[in-house]
Structure 1
Amino acid sequence: MDDHKRLAVVVNSSAGSANEPHLADHLRECFEGVVILDVGDGDLIETLREAATYDIMGIVGGDGSVNAAVEVALETGTPLAVVPGGTLNHFARDIALESMETTQAAIAAGRTAVIDVGLIDGAPFVNTASFGSYPELVDERERRENRLGKWPALAIAMGKVMRTMTPTAVSINGRRTSVWLFFAGNCRYDPPGLAPLNRARLDDGLIDLRWIDASVPFGRTRTFLAMLTGPRGRSRAVKTLVGERFEIVSHEGPLRLARDGETFDGGECIVIEKHPKGVQVYVGWADR
């Protein structure tokens, strides 16, 4: 352990492999003296706040759980240790933490970095935020997920969204456009298109915008393909902007938003920018 610092790890058992039966034993084997806090039927944020009273706050779960942990880390300043354990672990991959053992090694070596946190309508995100068809897709999937499972629910949701989706008229920094699908990345992503897979840096101070322009022919088809695979390379329908701050004005009322895969109701005028503070996280890479 990093200078014998006290570690409390929050387990969100609703997040993918975080509900594995021997998880607690595995955690105790990897992290000497760890305190394990299981959310159970309680509140994730409040459980994380309890963990943040220790020297290091740990979280086992996917990107949604990590998002909640980052929110608490911004409040408290407690260093964050991510243990991959959810259905989607994009953030853990980007900080080179592929397993519980790599997180243990990072803590033992004291390897940390301060990473950027994006804000959309005041809500933090560490990977991507979005509006348009994607939040609708997530909502439709979640209505069926408990009954059908994640991937069958996603397939049915995608079919429904494709039949009913309409473009969203917005202005981006004063320029009016109409979009099928809109993503904002926390830092610059590669490759081009709507398949943001990786980031060379997590502290570049930039917001990476990508959207599908509804004025381009076959925009609905392009959106469907983007949801399935993400178009790479150049396409007339895919537009991009990179900058430090963007103002989005909806011409169709309040926007339904998503951040790191979790949906919520936003306003008619939203700002996408960086939080003035970063978050200290344990990372798997050596000094860059």
Structure 2
Amino acid sequence: MIAPSWSDTALRQLTLAANHGKLWMTIAVVMSLIGKRQRRAGLRGLGSLAGASLVSNTVLKPLIGRRRPTLDPAHPHPLVRMPWTSSFPSGHSASAAAFAVGAALERPRTAAVLFPLAAAVGYSRVHVGVHYPSDVIAGAAIGGGVALAGQRLWPAVPTTAAQTGPGSAPALPRGAGLTVVLNSESGSSAGADTRILALLPDAKIVHWDPDYPLDEQISDDSRALGVAGGDGTAATVAQIAIDRDLPLAVFPAGTLNHFARALSLETYADTARAVVAGSAGTVDVGRINGCLFLNTAGLGGYPEMVRLRERLERRIGKWPAAAVALFRALRGHKPLDLVINGKRRSVWAIFIGNGEYRPRGLTPSNRSSLADGVLDVQYLRADRRLGRTTAIAASLFGTVERARVLGAIQADHLVIESHTGPILTAHDGEVTGPVDHIDLDLDPLALTVYR
């Protein structure tokens, strides 16, 4: 009998560490401590692992029932206890591949570490004698496939910034000449002033006092404006920046930071680097009844649906959250009788994006360009039989666009008249209205932003 080698011992420890996903859970916890992107990558990895484990261990193993490999005469005692379940496919390999691919979809740099580790886990299952190579290959294919399919339920956040138009802004070493408006009521703005001044010590911080006009709180000698708050705050300060012909620096201090994320400004340091370097571009801005919006606007049941969806999507994924939110938001709503650019339409809810949003349907979340010159209008049709039911079902499977319950218009100007009576509107998370006449306009390349 041959005594176990150092490689036998190492691979045995690796395969045991991967039992019940313990290795991957530990890695996800470590990733969550590093930063937001890594935390999101870890969560995607664990979600993919759960799906792959369900498919391989709960569905396929009982169906296929393959015997485990026979022991090598040179190793009459297995390196690990022989599992009683089916050999095909390898659940360890499925989980390893699912976690690695899922995390890499969200944070591609993790592939350099996770892919070799996942491959080592797969090989360890063959080395310790509990799987055939074909079990491992099949398991890895299942895990990778589940992770890729998960993109439909939970689209990954783009890792590159959306395109902007050409623009220039002054380089401000140490932040000299930058006035930053801080909304202390926004999601993660606690301590924002300290963090900004640590990066840009010569910047001026203005704490937004709603009892006084914001424009009067900003000095006339500012060379650039900054904003630390949510998307609604950013839109308000953006209007002042346009009025004064100043560039805008967006610090991600809100809860969701959609506009900052579109510019790939994930941290305060990202924004500070752009300010110091004078790196800038220009972006379109939308207007709804004269009010500026940077990201999205909505009518009817859409504002309520967005609030519900964003509360649920981090727990259950974007598409399932959209289905639940749609059901709850529209349960008590009647269809809207609207005239959109002269054409009468019956709709449940309307989404308006500043630029073309993807994916199409009820969960648009990403833009490839902030300067494409279009208002992207997507609406849920109410003139289709079982339209709400179809939309909810299609949301669960990410097939809304193909279900023929979605209408779309792209233009730079729209006029919407409500024959239902006054309806609520919302833009960048701020609910307004109700109104029965809505003017939507696009101002192309109107705002200069640091990026």
TM-score if structure 2 supplies the norm length? 0.54
Structure 2 residue aligned with 1:43, among 176, 190, 210? 210
Which digits, 9 at most, give the CA deviation of each residue in 1:43-94, with x for residues without a partner?
Answer: 1883355336311111111211111111222222221100001111111011
Aligned-partner Cα distance in 2 for 1:231–1:122: 34
Residue 424 of structure 2 is aligned to residue 253 of structure 1: no
Q: Which has the higher strand share?
A: 1
In structure 2, distance between residues paired with 1:227 and 1:102 = 35
Superposition deviation, residue 218 in structure 1? 2.9
AA partner of residue 32 (structure 1)? P
Residues 44, 68 of structure 1: 8 Å contact kept: no
1:28 equivalent in alignment to 2:28: no
Change (3 A) 1:242 1:157: closer
Task: Pick the aligned partner of 1:221 from 364, 369, 389.
Answer: 389
SS at match of 2:426: strand
Looking at structure 1, the residues matched to 450 and 397 of structure 2 have their Cα atoms a distance apart, in angstroms, of 31
Distance 2:450 2:299 in 1: 30
Alignment partner, residue 197 of structure 1: 365
Partner in structure 1 of residue 25 of structure 2: none
Deviation at 1:224, TM superposition (A): 5.4
Structure number having the greater helix percentage: 2
> What amino acid sits opposite 1:279 in the alignment?
L
Matched position secondary structure for 2:194:
helix
Aligned AA (2:205): I
Q: Is the 8 A contact 2:287 2:293 kept in 1?
A: yes
Matched, 1:11 2:179: no
Indicate conservation of the 8 Å contact 1:117/1:124, yes or no: yes
For residues 350 and 264 of structure 2, what CA distance do their matches in structure 1 show? 27
Larger Rg: 2
Of the candidates 377, 395, 403, which is equivalent to residue 235 of structure 1? Answer: 403
Q: Could you report, residue by residue, the CA deviation over 1:190-216 in whole angstroms, capped at 9, with x for unpaired residues?
A: 222222222222112111110000112
Given that 2:227 and 2:233 are in contact with CA atoms closer than 8 Å, whether structure 1 keeps it comes out as yes
Which residue of the partner structure matches residue 167 of structure 1? 335
What is aligned with 2:263? 95
- Name the CA distance, whole Å, in 2 between partners of 1:198 and 1:237: 21
Task: Between 224-233 and 245-254, report the one with greater CA deviation.
Answer: 224-233
Aligned sequence identity (%) = 35
Equivalent residue pairs, number: 269
85-94 or 64-73: which moved more?
64-73
Indicate yes or no: 2:297 matched with 1:126: no
Q: Which amino acid aligns with 1:202?
A: L
* Shift, 1:255, TM fit: 2.6
Amino acid of the structure 2 residue aligned with 1:125? F
CA distance in structure 2 between the aligned counterparts of 1:217 and 1:251, rounded to whole angstroms: 21
Q: Which of 413, 425, 440 does residue 272 from structure 1 map onto? A: 440
1:217 to partner: Cα distance:
2.8
More divergent stretch after superposition (71-80 vs 129-138): 129-138
Query: Cα–Cα, structure 1 residues 140 and 88, in superposed 2: closer, same or farther, change >3 Å?
Result: closer
What is the alpha-carbon root mean square deviation over aligned residues?
Answer: 3.1
> Is the contact made by 2:242 and 2:446 (CA closer than 8 Å) also made in structure 1?
yes
Letter in 1 for 2:450: Y
**Deviation at residue 220 of structure 1 after TM alignment:** 2.7
Alignment partners' CA distance in 1, 2:305 and 2:362: 16
In the TM superposition, what whole-angstrom CA distance separates every residue of 1:93-124 from its partner, at most 9, and x where no partner exists? Answer: 11121110000111111011111111112211
Once the two structures are TM-superposed, the CA of residue 139 in structure 1 deviates from its matched residue by 8.8
CA distance in 2, matches of 1:251, 1:37: 44
Counterpart-to-counterpart distance in 1, 2:237 and 2:398: 28
Tell me the distance in 2 between the aligned counterparts of 1:48 and 1:232.
43
* Relative contact order, higher structure (CA 8 A, sep 6+): 1
Q: Deviations over 1:224-254 (max 9, x none)?
A: 5799997654221011111221111111122
Query: CA 1:48–1:226 in structure 2 vs 1: closer, same or farther (change >3 Å)?
Result: farther
Distance apart, 1:29 and its partner CA: 0.9
TM-score if structure 1 supplies the norm length? 0.82
Q: Which runs of 5+ in 1 are unaligned?
A: 146-150, 284-288
